[in-house]
Amino acid sequence: MVLLSAAGINDPVVSLKNGRIRGELVTVRGTDRKVKQFLGIPFAHPPVGPLRLAAPQEALPWDEEKDCTKQPSMCIQDPQIMVNVSKSMSMQITLSDISEDCLYLNVYTPESAMQGDKLPVMVWIHGGGLTVGAASHYDGSSLAAYENVVMVIIQYRLGILGFLSTGDEHATGNWGFLDQLLALRWVQDNIEVFGGDPRVIICVCVEQSLSPLAKDLFQKAIFQSGVAVLAVMNMFYPTGVRIHNYKTSLSFSFFVFRHLLLYHKASSANSLIAEEYLGNAQSPEEVRDRFTEVIGDLLMTLPVVGVAGYLSG
């Protein structure tokens, strides 16, 4: 969806636990409904200096009204990955600046929403293999406009700065997951001023994990893409991690933050996959049907239109 700015003297202003913020009123193309949009709201102190490779701390209060009309900086990552992904999927993604100071979130709420409305809240936690992604890549205005919900899109530290562990007290890791928890606590403390209900929080998670530390921070969850033993969950650890006695696929030490295909084993992996799924398929119809099964297992689900288009070809 493309947003049309309706900013002006009617810019929405709300008072959070830490201070006042000003957003803007936008219109979602295709409807006359307006949405209050707040971009780049700090939920944590900048994770720099002594807070680098450390648990996040709550944002400090501010005195003056904070301008929340611009997308926050993306956390440290390789932006070319998102450029390549967007091209391959025919997506349009606008890349914002990159900075270690990146613990911000965006909030979208219906124009008429007021404190006390108790609207359901959806919190989007982006995927990207814990290495790429940002709040600016997603627009929550459509859901806010059409479904009458409060939409929150968070971002968290990625790569080494988010997940490196030395296996001891020097770097215990999982900073990115702790960022997510702090963002959920921020939602509990502040979402009511946007018209949301802190007792109806729905987490929409892409390639994420479960933690007992998140108890009482949300009530429902929609999980997309990924499982508990996903290899990426161990890519920043010096040694293998056992999950219910199943050792993850990356079970050796390394500290260089690279893409998942670090060890140039793609060709052998592709051969194994082809043998497993395609076997001795000969006819185009057999190859088509078995390849569809490959895609289904890889992506879990496919859009109906995409499958129909492939099969009709």
CATH number of the domain to which 150 belongs: 3.40.50.1820
Q: Angle CA(116)–CA(120)–CA(122) in degrees, nearest 5?
A: 130
**Residue-range definition of the domain harbouring residue 299:** 266-312
Q: How many CB atoms lie within 10 A of CB 267?
A: 7
Q: Is 312 left (phi over 0), alpha (psi -120 to 50) or beta?
A: alpha
Are 208 and 303 within one domain?
A: no
Residue 49 lies in a domain: yes
What's the DSSP call for residue 69?
Answer: B
Are 73 and 38 within one domain?
A: yes
Residue 201 lies in a domain: yes
> How many angstroms separate the CA atoms of 301 and 295, rounded?
8
Residue 46 lies in a domain: yes
Tell me which residue has tokens 């562990």: 165
How high is the pLDDT of residue 234?
A: 53
How high is the pLDDT of residue 291?
A: 79
Residue 179 half-sphere exposure toward CB, CA atoms < 13 A = 33
> How many angstroms separate the CA atoms of 127 and 293, rounded?
23
> How many angstroms separate the CA atoms of 123 and 192, rounded?
14
How high is the pLDDT of residue 192?
A: 97
Residue 252 lies in a domain: no
Are 211 and 291 within one domain?
A: no
What's the DSSP call for residue 204?
Answer: E
How high is the pLDDT of residue 238?
A: 47
Are 196 and 155 within one domain?
A: yes
Are 85 and 190 within one domain?
A: yes
Strand ranges for 23-80 from DSSP E: 24-28, 34-42, 66-67
Considering only CA atoms, give the Rg of the chain: 21
Are 288 and 220 within one domain?
A: no
Are the C-beta atoms of 152 and 140 separated by less than 8 Å?
yes
Q: How many CB atoms lie within 10 A of CB 29?
A: 11
pLDDT higher than threshold 70 for residue 85: yes
In the chain, what is the straight-line distance between the N-terminal and C-terminal CA atoms, in Å?
Answer: 29
Closest CA to 24 of 5, 43, 42, 41: 5
Are 284 and 238 within one domain?
A: no
Top pLDDT among 302 and 284 is at 284
Q: Tell me the pLDDT tens digit for each residue of 20-71.
A: 999 999 998 888 899 999 999 999 999 999 999 999 999 999 999 999 999 9
Are 235 and 308 within one domain?
A: no
Residue 257 lies in a domain: no
Residue 258 lies in a domain: no
* 228: CB partners within 8 A, 6+ apart: 209, 210, 243
Give the residue ranges of DSSP H helices in 252-303.
266-277, 284-299
> How many angstroms separate the CA atoms of 235 and 231, rounded?
7
How high is the pLDDT of residue 163?
A: 86
How high is the pLDDT of residue 224?
A: 78
Are 85 and 10 within one domain?
A: yes
Residue 41 lies in a domain: yes
- The structure tokens listed for 117 are 């409305």
Distance of CA 14 to the CA centre of its chain: 25
Mean pLDDT of the chain: 80
* 13: CB partners within 8 A, 6+ apart: 20, 21, 22, 23, 65
Give the range among 19-23, 163-167, 251-255 with minimum mean pLDDT: 251-255
> How many angstroms separate the CA atoms of 82 and 175, rounded?
22
- The structure tokens listed for 161 are 């700065």
pLDDT band at 106 (very low <50, low <70, confident <90, very high): very high
Tell me which residue has tokens 């949405």: 35
Q: Tell me the pLDDT tens digit for each residue of 218-229.
A: 888 887 776 555
How high is the pLDDT of residue 151?
A: 97
Top pLDDT among 215 and 43 is at 43
Are the C-beta atoms of 102 and 136 separated by less than 8 Å?
no
Are 165 and 61 within one domain?
A: yes
Q: What is the mean pLDDT of residues 264-280?
A: 70
Domain count, the chain: 2
| Edge-first strand listing for the sheet containing 104-110 | 3-5, 24-28, 34-42, 104-110, 150-154, 119-125, 196-206, 220-224
